[in-house]
Amino acid sequence: MADSSSTTSSTVGQRWGDVEDDPVEVEESTSQTPENASSSSAVEVPNLDALAIDENKKKNDFLDEPEDTHISAVTSGDTLYATAAKFEDLNLSPELLKGLYVDMKFTRPSKIQSISLPMILTPPYKDLVAQAHNGSGKTTCFVLGMLSRVDPNLKEVQALCICPTRELAIQNMEVLNKMGKYTGISSVCAIPSGSADIPIAKSAEIKAQVVIGTPGRIRNLMTSRKLNTSNLKVLVFDEADHMLDDDGFKDDSLKIRRLMAKDNAHYQVLLFSATFNDTVKNFVSKVVKDGNQMFVRKEELTLDVVKQYKVICPNEQAKIDVIRDRIFELGEKLGQTIIFVHSRKSANELHKKLGDYGYGCTTIHGALDKDFRDKIVKEFKDGLTKVLISTDVLARGFDQSQVNLVINFDLPVKHNYPSDPDYEVYLHRCGRAGRFGRKGAVFNLLSVDMDHMLLEKIEKHFGTKIVEVPNWKSDEDFEKALKAAGLL
C-alpha cells in the first residue's frame, strides 16, 4: 500500500505533510534579507554564556511530564535568566494567571516552559530557538509569549504565529483563546476557510491583535496589504524546522520575513520544534544570529514513555489483518489510535478495506474538503471517533491526550529519497502518543524489504532498539506488548 506514485499531487508539490494552503497569489521582486544574504557565509558563533542545567537537579519535579534531561541552553548577551518554578515568577498579568489555572488547569510550568519563558518575556526580548520533546508544552511557551507582549489598548496586529497546517493553526488558536480568555485580547485564525471563503482582495484589513495562520494565507494577506505588521512585536514559527526547511515552507517563511522587513525591523522571533536536523539547525543559527538557543541531542529525543515495536507481517494484506484483528480488538480497551499512512491513496484504500470488514474509522488527508477535514478532527478531539487514519498532515503538533496508540502502517520516507526514512517525521508521529508524560505505544508494521531497511536506519539514527512483537497473529503477544507499554 506504500504507493509513492500517489503521494504527490500538483497541490502538494515538494512539500511534506500532505498540506493544502493558499496558492501564491502575488509575486513580488525578491530582495535580499539579512538571513538569506548571509546564507553563504560561515555560521557565526555568537558570544555565548552557557546556562548550565544542574545535573544533580535532574530528578523529575514535574508531575507527569517527560524529563527533558539534557536540554542545553545557550544565552546570548549579558542578560541573566532565572528559571521559573511557578507561573507567578513570570510577571504574568492576573488575567493570564487565571487562564492558566482556571481554564487550562495547569499547576506549574513544565521544564521547557520554566527555562524558555524567562528568556521570552525578559527585555530586551531576544529571539529564541527552542527544541524540546514532543508533548512537553511548547505551545504554552509561545502563546504566553504572544499574549504577554500585546498592548491591549493598541488595536493592531502585534503577534503572529505561523504553522504548517490548518489543523495546527486551529489548535493553537484554541489554546490561545482558552489561555487568554480573561485578557480581552483579540485574535484571528488566518487560514483558507471552506465553503465560506471570500477572496482576500474583498476581505477587510485584519485588526486583531494576535494572528495565527498558515504560510500561504499569511503571505497572501501581506502582499494584498490586509495584514499590516508595522506594530508586530512577536513572530512565532511553530514546527520551525519544517517552516525553514527546503522541503517545507522555507520560501514562504523567508518571503514573509522580507515583507515584514519593509515596515518593521524590531520584532522578536520565536522558533519552536521537537526536531532540528543539522542542516536546518545551521540555517536557523543564521536566521536568529543574536538569539538564545535550546537544543536536545537526537539520541535523547525519542520519548521513553512511548514504547516502540515492530511487527513483521508476511505481506501487505497481513498489515490490514493486524489492524482489523489486533488493533481494533485490543484498541477497545485503550484510548484513541492514529494510523499513519504514506499517501492519500493508501489512506482511502485502507479506510475502504476496514469499512468492508465492518470496522468504522475516519480518515483525514489534504485532498479532502476543508470543512470536512475540520469536522473529522473535531469529532476525533471530542472522542466521538476512536481510530483515525491520517497522512502526515497530522504528524506534527496534533495534541490529543487520549491518543495512546500510533500505528505506522507505512513508515515515513523523504520526499525526494524514498529509500531514506524521514527521521523527524517518524519522531513526530510517535509523539502523537505519550503527550505530557502519558504512556503510549507505537507499532511499526513491516512487510517488504524496504520497510525492514527503513526501520533499521531509524533504529541506528536514534540509537534505539525497537522490540519485535514475536508473532503478528498472536493476540497474546500484542497484549504483552501493550502491558509492557503500561497500557493494559
Instruction: Provide, rounded to whole angstroms, the least separation between the CB of residue 49 and ligand ATP.
Output: 25
Identify which of 399, 396, 420, 395 has the alpha carbon closest to the alpha carbon of residue 409: 395
As a whole number of angstroms, the distance between CA 485 and CA 229 comes to 47
Identify which of 374, 401, 372, 377 has the alpha carbon closest to the alpha carbon of residue 389: 377
- Using the rule CB under 5 A, is 180 a contact of Mg ion? no
What is the spatial order of strands in the sheet that 292-295 belongs to? 48-51, 72-76, 292-295, 128-131, 268-273, 234-238, 159-162, 210-213, 187-190
- Using the rule CB under 6 A, is 435 a contact of ligand ATP? yes
Q: Which of ligand ATP, Mg ion, none does residue 166 bind to, with CB < 5 to 8 Å depending on kind?
A: none
129 Cβ contact partners less than 8 Å away, ≥ 6 residues apart? 240, 271, 276, 284, 285, 288, 291, 292, 293, 294, 295
Instruction: Provide, rounded to whole angstroms, the least separation between the CB of residue 396 and ligand ATP.
Output: 6
Q: Which of 99, 109, 248, 331 binds ligand ATP (CB under 6 A)?
A: 109
* Stretch of 133-141, 153-161, 200-208, 449-457 lying at the interface with ligand ATP (CB under 6 A): 133-141
CA terminus-to-terminus distance, the chain: 30
- Element (H or E) spanning 103, and its range? none
Sites for Mg ion among residues 42-101 (CB under 5 A): none
Q: Which of 109, 118, 366, 397 binds Mg ion (CB under 5 A)?
A: 397
The amino acid at residue 263 is D
Residue number with CB closer to ligand ATP (235 or 260): 235
- Using the rule CB under 5 A, is 17 a contact of Mg ion? no
Instruction: Provide, rounded to whole angstroms, the least separation between the CB of residue 177 and ligand ATP.
Output: 13
Q: Which of 9, 315, 401, 419 binds ligand ATP (CB under 6 A)?
A: 401
C-alpha cell at 360: 468504522
The amino acid at residue 188 is V
Sites for ligand ATP among residues 157-176 (CB under 6 A): none
Let me know: does 232 contact 159? Beta carbons within 8 Å.
yes
- Using the rule CB under 6 A, is 96 a contact of ligand ATP? no
As a whole number of angstroms, the distance between CA 341 and CA 20 comes to 17
| Residue 99-138 contact track with Mg ion, rule CB under 5 A, x = bound | ---------------------------------------x
Residue number with CB closer to ligand ATP (22 or 238): 238
Let me know: does 337 contact 160? Beta carbons within 8 Å.
no
Rule CB under 5 A: which residues touch Mg ion? 138, 397
Rule CB under 6 A: which residues touch ligand ATP? 106, 109-110, 113, 132, 134-140, 274, 397, 399, 401, 431, 435-436
